[in-house]
Structure 1
Amino acid sequence: MPRPKSTQPPALGKDGLYRDTFYYKGKQYSIKAKTLPDLYAKIQIKKQQLENGEIVVNKNTTVKRWLEEWLETYRKGHGGDKNYRNYVSIVNHDIVPYIGVMRLCDLTQYDLQRTINQQQGRSKSHASHVLNTIRQAFRRAAINGYLDLIVIENLELPKTKKGSHREITEEERRLTLETAKIHPGGLWVKTILYLGLRPQETVPLTPDDFDFKNGILHINKALKSGANKIGVPKTTAGIREIPIPDIIYDELKAACEACKTPTLFTQQTNDRRHTEASLYCLWNSFKRQMDILAGAKVYRNQIIESKIAEDLTPYCYRHTYCTDLQDAGVPINVAKYFMGHDDIKVTASIYTHHSKKASEDARVLINRHQSSKTK
């Protein structure tokens, strides 16, 4: 197989894959493979498909088909796997369901704005990611001549919630605990909910980190984002001691005593320490089981009508831990320590999201105080 023309030989990436690019009619295509022969073969196949018209993108291409091509050509291999998965999730859940069947030539600014408006009431962080994805994908379509650039101009965010995460609802809590009884990731999710850990802090946990005699969990390491390596927390505030609540004490103690691997939470298929990718898969599997318990419609093993909010993430459980501290009357400076926040303003931004229980407790205290003044 002849080697494709290139100014430089294909490089072996950090992911262990060879990657090379080529242009066809002014458009760039990125290909990657485990070996150089496979890489050259894939490039030749891709070129042949383009020559034969098997891969055609033009003004009549649907939005769904264009976004698939955009992800493959302009996002895959251009950044970390985690970023790519985020783009895929946004495309599949926040864009395609609304305008996926439309042709690029029929797309208007009105259609894109209505798509973005679906983010109303969700977190500002997520809505901003959706808006950014739309701008990137359709600007590239405009550059390729498939639509007018004016389509993506003056797009605006709808009214959103401050912050990137939220607390879970009571129904989500119920479904979470029911799912935890039957899913392998149940204890992992409950550990985040009841101890407020960052997902990355759960990865290196060992039985030795738990002091069951004194009811304390020691946090002093975490999975480094994008590196799949264990290191110290990002700030010194991340090094802390968290009380193990009674509600999960026995379950954690039993798991630690039965643990036969270096870390407490491991990949189900190989008993190895979790990576960012495996945590992502674990969470998606857990959330899917939650969805089914909630009554989601399933067809050919695929969920076609979800009942679970798309913005439910593991961080929502950590956020809920903080609001639970507030409801329990834990002082904000103590909550800051338990959460591992470097700045108390971060804790305060959660504490100011008053829950119904916090409001009701405040009402009772005020009434009690005011009544005492009249006697």
Structure 2
Amino acid sequence: MAKRTKQPNGAGSVYQRKDGRWEGAAFLEALDGTRTRFRVYGKTWEEANAKLTEALANARKGIPVETTKLGFGDYLTYWLEQIARPKVRPSTYRSYETYVRLYLIPGLGKKQLKKLTAQDIRTWLVKVAKTCQCCLQGHDAKRPKQHKDPTKQQRCCAVEKCCRKVPSPRTVQYLHALVRSALAQAVREDLVLRNVAKNVQLGTVERPEIQALTLDEARQFLRQARKGRFYAVYAVALGVGLRRGEALGLRWDDVDLNNGVLRVRQALQRQKGEGLKLVPLKTQRSRRTIRLPDNLVKVLKERKAEQAAERLAAGSAWHDPHGLVFTTHIGTAIEPENLYRHFRAVCDAAGIRRVRLHDLRHTCATILLAQGVDTRTIMEILGHSTIVLTMNTYAHVMPEHQAKALNRLEEALGGLA
């Protein structure tokens, strides 16, 4: 076949390089609006010409070409610091940083951002789901070979006994969401044309079933908790469905005992290097105003009197710069992990199942559903972003709730038989 080196005017040119490969080149509009020399390569003239023809066709449609040579790993570093850090809560940023450092950069970091494909992402996610992270990251190898405490010496992968510590399906789903979010920003900044992570389909992941307390268990728990100093925290968490951080971050300025109103405005969170801090809530929906039942107003009045006595007893040692409702004996914020340990001890003493502290919030919702409260009202009490989230979270108790409603309908109709 004769050697071809020329194309018609405006079609760029295709020519053979000294190394034997074919190269196609044309001046096209780049993502930043400038005209740049765009190059494609192929083993044959036909392959290079086909790639160049596709690029020219896209250009005629007004689709610019991708020219960035930025590596995906470098882009992720930029995205974390410049996009994610200012936008998300500190705890969310720490989660992003951990997953990017341990998974995304080692797995996809060497790929060029513009050359990353859906196949690359899917192949990587499948590999992650099957790879023991203990082996990959050398967790056990960092421990001493011999230690007086056997639990602290090398084991599992470091002694060639793989523990098969593979990521959960939810972790894999989270990794996919991170890649998709990072690439969405790359599209917005005109670094790539499209978000290839959107084309990756993962299997559905079942939501873990909510481990809420039954009504009898909740009553047993509250009776036992009444004997300790954290009773008011548990009563608020269970009574109006506050998250742990929301309850511990509650200030007296947010509570109107005269009118029985509680406003959820911030949360208490531990931040790396800064200790416990009050932080904004994650979403606007989380900021909510709740009408307190009379019993909770009484509990909070008792808590206020108790705190006044503690302040008097502590004297100059009292330190409470935020005016928190729930504090230690000297006014400082309560360490969330200490509260959780106390919570488990109360569960044991009450003779009920050990659930998470967060499950008091779920218990609030499931009891409300059982009492016939509508989903929209529960959504507003819990501060969910959408009613769909509420319905999906408590889908396992919906059938029973629906059955009761339909039974009432049948009674109203005088029976259907």
Question: What TM-score results when the alignment is normalised by the length of structure 1?
Answer: 0.52
Give unmatched runs, 5+ long, in structure 2.
Answer: 1-139, 170-204, 309-319
Q: Distance in 1 between matches of 2:341 and 2:161?
A: 37
Instruction: Determine the structure 2 residue equivalent to 1:243.
Output: 291
1:178 deviates by 1.7
Deviations 1:67-96 (A, max 9, x none): 4336xxxxxxxxxxxxxxxxxxxxxxxxxx
Instruction: Determine the structure 1 residue equivalent to 2:327.
Output: 266
Residues 269-280 of structure 1 correspond to what in structure 2 (within 5 A)?
270-274=330-334, 278-280=335-337
Contact 2:244 2:358 in 1 (8 A): yes
Contact 2:147 2:153 in 1 (8 A): no
1:28 aligns with 2:142: yes
Aligned residues: 227
1:55 aligns with 2:116: no
Residues 343 and 369 from structure 1, CA distance in 2 versus in 1: closer, same or farther, beyond 3 angstroms? same
1:242 deviates by 0.9
Percent of aligned pairs sharing the same letter: 21
Instruction: Determine the structure 2 residue equivalent to 1:289.
Output: 346
Residues 155 and 54 from structure 1, CA distance in 2 versus in 1: closer, same or farther, beyond 3 angstroms? closer
Deviations 1:339-375 (A, max 9, x none): 111132221123422279736632531331342678x
1:181 aligns with 2:236: no
Q: Distance in 2 between matches of 1:286 and 1:54?
A: 36
Q: Which amino acid aligns with 1:233?
A: L
1:309 aligns with 2:321: no
Instruction: Determine the structure 2 residue equivalent to 1:135.
Output: none
The root-mean-square deviation of aligned C-alpha atoms, in Å, is 3.4
Q: Which amino acid aligns with 1:266?
A: T
Deviations 1:210-264 (A, max 9, x none): 1223321011111235452112101111110011122322111232355335211
1:254 aligns with 2:302: yes
Residues 156 and 189 from structure 1, CA distance in 2 versus in 1: closer, same or farther, beyond 3 angstroms? closer
Residues 257 and 178 from structure 1, CA distance in 2 versus in 1: closer, same or farther, beyond 3 angstroms? closer
Residues 135-214 of structure 1 correspond to what in structure 2 (within 5 A)?
141-142=156-157, 144=158, 146-149=159-162, 152=164, 162-163=207-208, 165-214=210-259
The alignment partner of 2:153 has SS state of helix
The alignment partner of 1:224 has SS state of strand
Q: Distance in 1 between matches of 2:167 and 2:382?
A: 36
The alignment partner of 1:205 has SS state of coil
Q: Distance in 2 between matches of 1:153 and 1:289?
A: 32
Give unmatched runs, 5+ long, in structure 1.
Answer: 1-25, 30-49, 57-63, 71-103, 105-140, 295-307
The alignment partner of 2:332 has SS state of coil
Q: Distance in 2 between matches of 1:153 and 1:327?
A: 39
Q: Distance in 1 between matches of 2:167 and 2:258?
A: 57
Q: Distance in 2 between matches of 1:154 and 1:287?
A: 28
Residues 205 and 148 from structure 1, CA distance in 2 versus in 1: closer, same or farther, beyond 3 angstroms? closer
Contact 1:207 1:257 in 2 (8 A): no
The alignment partner of 2:263 has SS state of strand
Instruction: Determine the structure 2 residue equivalent to 1:69.
Output: 153
Q: Distance in 1 between matches of 2:302 and 2:347?
A: 25
Contact 2:209 2:396 in 1 (8 A): no
Q: Distance in 2 between matches of 1:174 and 1:257?
A: 24
Q: Which has the larger radius of gyration?
A: 2
Q: Which amino acid aligns with 2:333?
A: R
The alignment partner of 2:300 has SS state of helix
Q: Distance in 2 between matches of 1:321 and 1:193?
A: 5
1:54 deviates by 5.8
Q: Which amino acid aligns with 2:233?
A: W
